[in-house]
């Protein structure tokens, strides 16, 4: 074993630093994800509020039209007559009602109301201002809102499909002298909502998709003329009028019909679609970030019938990513600083430990360190029943070297001797300075015969090595193989006795200790 083996840096401490670092990265990433989620949620709330503001403003305007121009005696009287009249009489009443409210309908159209539609108490269509030639058809089976207003006779608002238009409908009961005489509705289309959203926002695309099975009930013949399948799902249709409004708007991102974009979006939302609830997502497409809000459209019975969805380009997510990367760099720099500081501290401690363990002159272990090592090896020998030998080495006539050449030369010769001995022994052997010119060696897993061979090689090597200002240096060696239960003190004494015998027998020899009695 070399005089000093650098200890491994504390693995546990570095593992702790690494765990803290990884935990920090996880926290940073979770914070980044949460920040994006919160941002997307906030944008979704903004979109939701924008939709609510638009529908509420039209609702208020619709209420104003109803109460100021429709819910008046003249109109109520005409509807009362119509509810009791024959078909021929209804033709005249229809013309009179149309003439009475044409100005109101024209004004409503200017504010993007698409329909003004009167219904008889039976649920039959009486007058469609947007299509006056179509009347007399029963709406009970296809329009739940009509059935509901007949039953409840109170104002209802909500989204519903229709034979000629799907949109937000504001339905009002018509009561004349306490008698229900029919109902009326004002309607705004999805196109109107889309147009208003484009007015209030930039970098946007808006689309309304409706469940296919709902549209099929309303329109059997002209469904393909008015709708096409959404690129997001073959269960939803989108009005061609909606698509034209998006494609022709100067603020549009032109993504509603982009097949590549829709493929990315489709994969992102497929699990959400199953829930039929409102949701928000973010996605990256062609190195740009987008937030998409899907607003679940409910009918008059609170059933999901479709989605109004808004696609908005955003730069905020990129900035969130930059901030996350900065935090990662800071965390990495702190980790490297901690490692560097700990490494320097540990190195300093190792240096201090090293000087406490080794002999300052020769650089090999001192007596105290040797004793520590020997006791450990003795315990292992006792446990595993392995041989172990200890040798005492003394430089012959070293006092004369000091007397003739001085202690400085003597010290240099000791250093050279240690170097030569270290080069001649095995890596497993432990060499230490015992004091002055005397050294001690521990030979683990080595019986007396092998130990004598190793030490003879060392002795011979020293004898034939020239040293500073001295033609020849020799050493005397005493070696002892530890017997069961012998203490370290006893083993060293036995090796020292053999060393004494070597000196008595002319020096420059290796003497094995005699078995203790």
Q: CATH code at 490?
A: 3.30.70.270
Please say if the pLDDT value at position 64 is more than 90: yes
Q: Does any domain span residue 13?
A: no
Average pLDDT over residues 136-163: 88
Average pLDDT over residues 347-354: 59
Average pLDDT over residues 253-275: 90
| Among 270, 296, 319, residue at a domain's last position | 319
Domain shared by 291 and 414, yes or no: no
- Return the pLDDT at 517: 47
Tallying the residues shown for the chain, one arrives at 517
Q: Does any domain span residue 341?
A: no
- Return the pLDDT at 513: 92
Average pLDDT over residues 3-16: 60
Domain shared by 142 and 55, yes or no: yes
Q: Does any domain span residue 88?
A: yes
- Return the pLDDT at 350: 60
More confident residue, 18 or 172: 172
Q: Of the ranges 13-27, 72-86, 378-392, which one carries the lowest mean pLDDT score?
A: 13-27
- What tokens appear for 256 in the block? 């509603």
CA distances from 184 to 110, 141, 168 (A): 19, 17, 14
Please say if the pLDDT value at position 164 is more than 80: no
- Return the pLDDT at 434: 92
Mean pLDDT, the chain, whole residue set: 87
Q: Of the ranges 231-245, 289-303, 430-444, which one carries the lowest mean pLDDT score?
A: 231-245
- Return the pLDDT at 380: 87
Question: pTM of this prediction?
Answer: 0.60
Average pLDDT over residues 457-473: 88
Domain shared by 312 and 376, yes or no: no
More confident residue, 240 or 458: 458
- Beta strands 156-160 and 388-395, pairing class: unpaired
Domain shared by 304 and 368, yes or no: no
437 is catalytic: yes
Domain shared by 171 and 232, yes or no: yes
- Beta strands 167-176 and 204-211, pairing class: unpaired
- DSSP string for residues in 396-442: TTHHHHHHHH-HHHHHHHHHHHHHHHHHHS-TT-EEEEEETTEEEEE
Residue 339: which of 150, 331, 286 has the closest Cα?
Answer: 331
Q: What is the DSSP letter of 86?
A: -
Please say if the pLDDT value at position 393 is more than 90: yes
3-class secondary structure, 334 = helix
Please say if the pLDDT value at position 126 is more than 70: yes
3-class secondary structure, 223 = helix
Residue 203: which of 284, 116, 136, 291 has the closest Cα?
Answer: 291
Domain shared by 296 and 381, yes or no: no
Q: What are phi and psi of 201, to 5 degrees?
A: -135, 160
Domain shared by 222 and 73, yes or no: yes
Q: Does any domain span residue 153?
A: yes
Please say if the pLDDT value at position 245 is more than 80: no
For the domain that residue 254 is a member of, what is the CATH number? 3.30.450.20
Which one is catalytic: 396, 429, 437, 496? 437
Kind plus residue range of the DSSP H or E element containing 267: helix 259-275
Domain shared by 164 and 285, yes or no: yes
Model confidence over 270-326: pLDDT tens digits?
A: 888 888 999 999 999 998 999 999 999 988 888 898 999 999 888 888 888 888 888
What is the C-alpha end-to-end distance of the chain, expressed in Å?
32
Model confidence over 466-501: pLDDT tens digits?
A: 887 887 899 999 999 999 889 999 999 999 999 999
Report whether 339 contacts 17 (CB < 8 A).
yes
Domain shared by 400 and 457, yes or no: yes
Model confidence over 86-95: pLDDT tens digits?
A: 999 999 999 9
3-class secondary structure, 472 = coil
| Among 261, 289, 319, residue at a domain's last position | 319
- Return the pLDDT at 462: 92
- Number of structural domains the chain divides into: 2
- Return the pLDDT at 325: 86
| Among 289, 319, 349, residue at a domain's last position | 319
Domain shared by 305 and 364, yes or no: no
Q: What is the DSSP letter of 67?
A: I
Residue 481: which of 447, 515, 432, 458 has the closest Cα?
Answer: 447
- Return the pLDDT at 221: 55
- Return the pLDDT at 95: 96
Task: State which residues form the domain around 224.
Answer: 33-319
- What tokens appear for 30 in the block? 């979770």
Q: Which residues contact 319 (CB under 8 A, 6 or more apart)?
A: none
CA distance 504 to 516: 20
Q: Does any domain span residue 340?
A: no
């Amino acid at each position: 074993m070399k005089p000093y083996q650098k200890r491994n840096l504390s693995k546990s401490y570095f593992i702790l630093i690494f765990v803290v670092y990884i935990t920090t990265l996880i926290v940073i990433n979770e914070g980044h994800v949460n920040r994006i989620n919160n941002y997307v949620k906030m944008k979704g709330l903004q979109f939701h509020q924008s939709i609510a503001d638009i529908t509420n403003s039209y609702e208020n305007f619709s209420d104003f039209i109803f109460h100021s121009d429709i819910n008046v005696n003249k109109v109520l009287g005409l509807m009362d007559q119509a509810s009791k009249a024959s078909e021929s009489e209804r033709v005249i009443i229809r013309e009179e009602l149309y003439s009475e409210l044409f100005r109101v309908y024209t004004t409503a159209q200017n504010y993007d109301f698409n329909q003004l539609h009167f219904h008889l108490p039976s649920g039959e269509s009486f007058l469609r201002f947007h299509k006056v030639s179509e009347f007399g058809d029963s709406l009970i089976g296809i329009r739940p809102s009509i059935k509901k207003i007949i039953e409840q006779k109170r104002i209802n608002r909500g989204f519903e499909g229709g034979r000629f238009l799907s949109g937000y409908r504001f339905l009002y009961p018509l009561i004349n002298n306490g008698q229900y005489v029919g109902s009326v509705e004002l309607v705004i289309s999805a196109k109107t909502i889309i147009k208003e959203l484009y007015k209030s926002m930039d970098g946007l695309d808006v689309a309304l998709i409706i469940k296919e099975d709902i549209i099929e009930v309303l329109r059997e013949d002209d469904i393909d003329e008015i709708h096409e399948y959404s690129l997001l799902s073959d269960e939803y249709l989108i009005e061609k009028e909606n698509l034209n409004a998006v494609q022709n708007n100067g603020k549009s991102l032109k993504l509603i019909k982009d097949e590549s974009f829709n493929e990315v979006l489709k994969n992102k939302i497929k699990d959400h679609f199953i829930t039929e609830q409102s949701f928000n997502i973010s996605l990256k497409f062609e190195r740009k970030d987008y937030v998409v809000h899907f607003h679940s459209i409910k009918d008059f019975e609170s059933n999901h019938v479709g989605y109004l969805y808004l696609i908005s380009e955003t730069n905020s997510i990129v900035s969130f990513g930059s901030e996350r990367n900065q935090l990662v760099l800071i965390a990495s720099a702190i980790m490297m600083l901690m490692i560097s500081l700990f490494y320097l501290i540990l190195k300093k401690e190792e240096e201090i430990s090293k000087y406490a363990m080794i002999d300052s002159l020769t650089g090999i272990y001192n007596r105290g360190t040797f004793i520590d090592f020997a006791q450990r090896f003795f315990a292992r020998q006792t446990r595993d029943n392995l041989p172990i030998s200890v040798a005492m080495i003394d430089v012959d006539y070293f006092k004369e070297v000091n007397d003739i050449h001085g202690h400085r030369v003597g010290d240099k010769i000791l250093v050279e001797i240690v170097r030569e001995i270290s080069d001649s022994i095995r890596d497993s052997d432990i060499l230490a300075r015992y004091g002055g010119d005397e050294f001690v060696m521990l030979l683990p897993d080595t019986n007396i015969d092998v130990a004598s061979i190793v030490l003879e090689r060392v002795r011979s090597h020293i004898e034939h090595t020239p040293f500073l200002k001295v033609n020849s240096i020799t050493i005397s060696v005493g070696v002892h193989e530890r017997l069961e239960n012998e203490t370290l003190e006893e083993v060293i004494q036995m090796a020292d006795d053999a060393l004494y015998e070597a000196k008595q027998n002319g020096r420059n020899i290796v003497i094995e200790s005699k078995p203790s009695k």
